[in-house]
Amino acid sequence: MTVIVGLSAHGSPGVTTSLTIVASTWSSGTCVLLEGDPVGGCIAARFQLGIEPGLGTLASANTQRPGAVSILDHCQELPSGVPVCVAAPSPSTARRQMTLISSLDEIASYSDATILVDLGSVDPSLTSSLDVLRQASTAIWFVRPTAEELTLLVNRLNEVPSPPAAGIVLVGSGPYTQGMVSEAIDIPVVGSIPFDAQASDAANIGGADRYLKRSPLSRACRSLAATVEQMAGLEPIVSDEPAKRSRRRRRNADDVESTHV
């Protein structure tokens, strides 16, 4: 399969929250969320998971059989059902573990899974983050549409490797529109994420909240997932379950009608 990264040039514009929802709406086979943030992982604490299995056990296994490791064997499960490979909360530990994952693209192929990497705020001086970008097929930059964040983004784009496909996601509101950003930066704007505190809170405590499912945030992430899959050249896997249910409902309806003849 393939490696896709979500990252920012500065700060925390909702990369982790957005990616957990995006992964839960993925339609092109198995999608694994991997924490690659150089400042350390937060997902284990956020969802009350252990730090093993996770990035540490994956790194250890990969040193023994580089690339021939199933990442699914080193995942836990989010409340939404998404398999996640969590990183240690310690920056030094997380960075050391990431340096041992030099064949992430091979792991994705071996595991027959898309690996969606949360790189957090990327640091051009860190080899581990740059290596992931070099192996990725697609990069999605999350940025608030403000002068300071867009300026930082332009500079980051000049400092780090660019995967074959890349796009910008605008987070929240600001003085700059999608059209203005698209004209100013070579990389296209491929989506926008609204500021939705209630939905974000629901996503970060379990992801099964009724409001979250119909929220603007969830709709935006669902649309973004479809766009990213297309950018990465992935084909949605269509289940025939809805058609089967439809046929069952039709037969049931026919049965009901026949009792009144």
Alpha carbons 179 and 200: distance in angstroms, whole number: 26
Report the alpha-carbon distance of residue 124 to residue 12 in Å, rounded. Answer: 17
- pLDDT per residue as tens digits for the range 159-181: 999 999 999 999 999 999 999 99
- Output phi, psi for 151, to 5 deg: -65, -45
pLDDT tens, residue by residue, 192-203: 999 888 888 878
Residue 200 in domain: yes
Identify whether 260 is part of a domain: no
Confidence of residue 50 (pLDDT cuts 50, 70, 90): very high
In a domain, 184, yes or no: yes
- Number of structural domains in the chain: 1
Please report, for the domain that includes residue 143, its CATH number. Answer: 3.40.50.300
- Per residue in 145-159, pLDDT (tens digit) is 999 999 999 999 999
Would 256 be classed as within a structural domain? no
Residues 6+ apart with CB under 8 A from 28: 114, 229, 234, 235, 236, 237
- Whether 251 maps to a domain, the answer reads no
Give, in degrees to the nearest 5, the angle at Cα 221 between 202 and 14: 65
pLDDT at 247 over 60: no
Does 133 fall in a domain?
Answer: yes
Q: Is the peptide bond before 164 cis (omega within 30 degrees of 0)?
A: no
| Parent domain of 212 | 3-235
**Stretch 104-115: mean pLDDT, rounded?**
95
Cβ neighbours of residue 19 under 8 Å, at least 6 residues apart? 6, 33, 116, 118
Given a cut of 80, whether residue 33 has pLDDT beyond it is yes
146 assigned to some structural domain? yes
pTM of the model: 0.88
User: Residue 257 falls within a domain, yes or no?
Assistant: no
